[in-house]
Structure 1
């Protein structure tokens, strides 16, 4: 289910890339259409949320048993509703005490928190979101036209979708750790090649960038979220997950917003920090 969430995200990215590419020849105002059309899915999301039921688990937690039962009946009937509510109440009874963030520092929990934060942060510091956010700038550096730059984002979205599906098929068969090792190791090797090709402005860098996207989509992208949802004790899972996710987006912020600074002030090609990603990924891959 967690990997399925990632699938819907990358599907949305691909649709957005296709829409943006359709406006490639609309002139200087094309970006306004690309940006403005975001109102359509946003409005649909808003309308859909109006009819979105409340979480039965939350309703049961705050003592609104009948409301929880009513919602569960809508999805699976009376028998399903009663069984589900019994299971919910059973899990809630094991965690009746209100948790605080201070409990995250307790022995046996703090180690898991550090692991969760590490997974989240290094997923972003692997650097691949530089490609997602600055693809046109990167392809411009190797001589691609504006039309080709947008077309490459479509290819990136397509590869991202295909390999996310592959990850969903493999995550339970191969396990979490093998996929994570494959992701960090694969990216490290590909980055070594990409750095050299970018330095020589070779157009063949496109194939290696797409390969890096595929490796990331099949490993770090979905599996990190799966691990974050699994490794924390039930009692503190909500707060622990929030800390890990906050760390992930903080690392994303640092990665994405530092890129223009590197590009402008160091006067170097995109992926100025990629050597760091190479050694980091090789190190993580070597861990057992």
Structure 2
């Protein structure tokens, strides 16, 4: 009973922080259902369409770049509140934008919020989590992202259907947002969870590890005591964190100059950016367009995208339940192998599917298999690894560096996918994604240690060379 109570409180903290992941997912995926309508309304060419998709990612890059510094300076909680405010402003602004320029600016504001939560939410969860449950707890953030994806796909599908029904209203804005220009409703509905996030953050405490680094151990001790339901354990956790956070020459600059710490930072950068060139965001952003290129109608393409979102959620639930039991690396080996197989089969379909008379349902099955393999591996593991690889004193900045590379990769794939589909065709594009899986597998096998079940301080000792266990 005592263990359940402790886990229940930490689970509550994780779920609150993970709402940021839901907003991340919704804001990222909602764009897929609005591209055609926005392009038609504002007369966008292919490059401008790519900018419409990619502009939020430029905001994310900026958000990531400042999130670590801001969270180290202000605290994790205040940065989460700031990101919630940015999401709220972005949602309302997008719904009421009457020029492409203003729409882009409000998308960039939302993108800054995405960048911030992508760093601070998993970092906060990692810092309050009990070690033996940390992988699953941080994976709740990834689960929330997938629920956000699914929520966006369902919202797009339902609002599109709603816009075609007959209804009477005296409100010109309601008619404009939910019928005449339904893309406004798709983007604007994000305000509801964003405002909820802003309010509920008030109910959670600051990260105890951040408090210790900021020389506030008494407050940290009280939070640890609540997490572990023991004053003695709370005091012991503070002492454990102090042993690593107060060692000499451990300023952020010194740690970045230490080869032992620079190594995991560079590895984090590598796996973050490589993961974006393995196809997952191309499917999430351009799934409907890819299905349309296979001869599937626009309405059916959105319906297929809902199935992709559903499999993404269910698979992430499975990953959440087994990530601490099987470990991070085994999930990656299994999942990335499946990604390679499915990507090659998708490429085969676009070359020979029509000639062999293979129906579009088979393509959907291949995409669902790919999404399953992705969600069980790199999507579930990446934020867990990035949130636990670095020392307490440098975690914010190190995660910003890795997150910056992740969002640069995401921006590039968002911008390049239309070009790749046009010049390499779907077959060549997915074959390229399959090839990019190989260096990711090599890095995970050769250089990344298994971190399941270890405390953040034990992982720090490993990288510092004071612990021979891998």
TM-score band w.r.t. shorter chain:
0.7 to 0.9
1:239 aligned residue (379, 397, 401)? 397
Cα shift at 1:168: 1.9
Task: Name the CA shift for 1:69/1:170 in 2 (closer, same or farther; >3 Å).
Answer: closer
Distance 1:142 1:151 in 2: 14
> Is 2:201 aligned against 1:49?
yes
Cα shift at 1:173: 2.8
The CA RMSD over aligned residues, in Å, is 2.7
What TM-score do you get using the length of structure 2 for normalisation? 0.55
SS at match of 1:54: coil
Mind listing any 5+ residue stretches in structure 2 that lack a counterpart? 1-136, 165-179, 447-470
> Is 2:349 aligned against 1:197?
yes
1:136 match: 288
2:176 match: none
What TM-score do you get using the length of structure 1 for normalisation? 0.86
1:24 match: 160
SS at match of 2:325: coil
Cα shift at 1:147: 1.9
Cα shift at 1:9: 1.8
Question: Highest relative contact order (Cα 8 Å, sep 6+), 1 or 2?
Answer: 1
SS at match of 1:273: helix
Q: Which runs of 4+ in 1 moved over 6 A?
A: none
SS at match of 2:181: helix
1:176 aligned residue (308, 322, 328)? 328
> Is 2:234 aligned against 1:84?
yes
1:58 match: 210
> Which has the larger helix fraction?
2
Q: Is the 8 A contact 1:60 1:89 kept in 2?
A: no
Cα shift at 1:214: 0.4
1:106-145 matches, cutoff 5 A = 106-145=258-297
1:8 aligned residue (127, 144, 153)? 144
Distance 1:51 1:179 in 2: 34
> Is 2:302 aligned against 1:161?
no
The number of equivalent residue pairs is: 284
Q: Which segment is superposed worse, 272-281 or 204-213?
A: 272-281
2:430 match: 274
1:38 match: 190
